[in-house]
Chains A and B, each alone.
Chain A
Amino acid sequence: MSVPFDSDPSLAAYAHPERLVTTAWLAEHKGDPGVVVLESDEDVLLYDTGHIPGALKIDWVLDLNDSVTRDYVDGAAFSALMSARGISRDSTVVIYGDKSNWWAAYALWVFRLFGHEDVRLVNGGRAKWIAEGRELTKDVPRPAATSYPVVQREDAPIRAYQSTVLETLGRHPLIDVRSVPEYTGERTHMAEYPQEGVLRGGHIPSAVNVPWSKAAAEDGTFKPRAELEAIYFGDAGLKADSDVITYCRIGERSSHTWFVLTYLLGLDKVRNYDGSWTEWGNSVRVPVAQGPEAGTAPVAVSA
């Protein structure tokens, strides 16, 4: 089964245009054999208010996170999740969501932890589809169950643990994608968002602050490649071969930036530190920097 890539010129300049589709492509191909469309939102009920015809829901808390250990689901649970949604190992999975695709990028990142090869984002997400007056439905498809293999999750290439961050502190660039007041330590959570019990405010020393939203245009699509290069290579000082770790509060906004760096700019060593500030800001004796300066990493840190 081979589903064509979207050859729309708006995507062509990106390093991996095959990771994105336009809403127009989706409208044309959503019913193609081998294509499964998923909606991944912050709000667990949003899908139920109306969604793209043929799309199924995937929830970042209930489906992708383990309900006991703070970790992602294991291979068996992921296999069950895929099978129930009619997804095969060679399916083309196309994901869209609310909030400029934060949660869609987060879901895509989890798919990549399991090595699912063909997974794409809808540029502009749910908001763009609706803004264009395209069809929504409340009909929930009932796909026939598939047999998805139990695949071992492979975290190392794209996921960073706290221990990795500590070991590489000062040697690899860190990108803190939270808002400025969260970075400086004025605030420990996003405005209007739950206070998730973080004991210390600030950022990981040496981390550069590039709020995730800098990568998104007004309509929720990604900015053109040249603008992204100016932000990440120019302002933030990254290089094409940088070994980068991104983080935010719980790893969702930094999945968006991970997607940008990996697939739009073509960096091949980007890891998302999903423990993020809700882990770091509660940890005993880890270094913290406050204020607008990145700060310097202490030498020879060990946890």
Chain B
Amino acid sequence: MTDPTPMPAALRGIIDDFAALAGQDKLQLLLEFAENLPALPERYADHPELLEPVPECQSPVFLITEVDRSVTPAVARLFFTAPPEAPTTRGFAGILREGLDGRPVDEVLATPADFAMQLPVADVVSPLRLRGLSAMLARVKRQLAEATRAGA
């Protein structure tokens, strides 16, 4: 049986990376994603009001997406910001950024909504905290869907 909505390759790779680890090592990997989340580019750093809040997360995290049509097919750009005191949230943002930034928009839109549930970290961060990741992905997809409709 084939998976009806395949996981984008980079996200699949991240799932596999976490699955290969146990306990504290999973947390260390999540921490690396948190530490490697890039800062906002200037055009957003100077205009935080352009970013969308994610109230489902326990910490203040904001995101914005762009559709880059200079290439074919058009690709998605993802930008996140979250404070250093919220490393779990930063880690989730870092995963989405690494897995989806620069990927074709259609591929991002087809990302399974249950990606967070497939990421094997519930045992180290709790299912409760994973809701924030689901909410971030949902908002990324909604923004991209709106931009795609507007640009069509």
Q: Which residues of A are at the interface with B, using a C-beta cutoff of 8 A?
A: 42-46, 48-49, 59, 61-62, 98, 140, 191-195
Contacts and interface: CB of A to CB of B under 8 A. Distances in A.
A226 B129 CA distance: 38
Contacts of A140: 24
Nearest to A65: B126
Interface stretch (B2-10, B70-78, B81-89, B105-113): B81-89
B contacts with A: majority SS:
helix
A192 B123 CA distance: 24
Contacts, number: 61
A193 B88 contact: no
Contacts of A44: 27, 88, 124-126, 129
Contacts of B58: 42-43, 192-194
Given A191-B55, A194-B57, A49 B87 contact: yes
B4 to A, nearest CB: 28
A45 B53 contact: no
Interface residues of B, number: 28
Given A45-B88, A46-B87, A62 B53 contact: no
Contacts of A48: 27-28, 31, 87
A48 B125 CA distance: 12
A51 to B, nearest CB: 12
Given A61-B128, A194-B131, A45 B56 contact: no
B55 A192 contact: yes
Pairs A-B, 7 closest by C-beta atoms: A45-B87, A61-B126, A45-B88, A43-B88, A194-B56, A44-B125, A49-B87
Interface centre among A45, A62, A195 (most CB of B within 10 A): A45
B143 interface: no
A106 to B, nearest CB: 14
Contacts of B57: 192, 194
A59 B88 CA distance: 13
Contacts of B27: 44-45, 48
A61 B131 CA distance: 14
Contacts of A42: 58
Contacts of B59: 43, 192
Contacts of A43: 58-59, 85-89
Given A48-B27, A48-B31, A62 B124 contact: yes
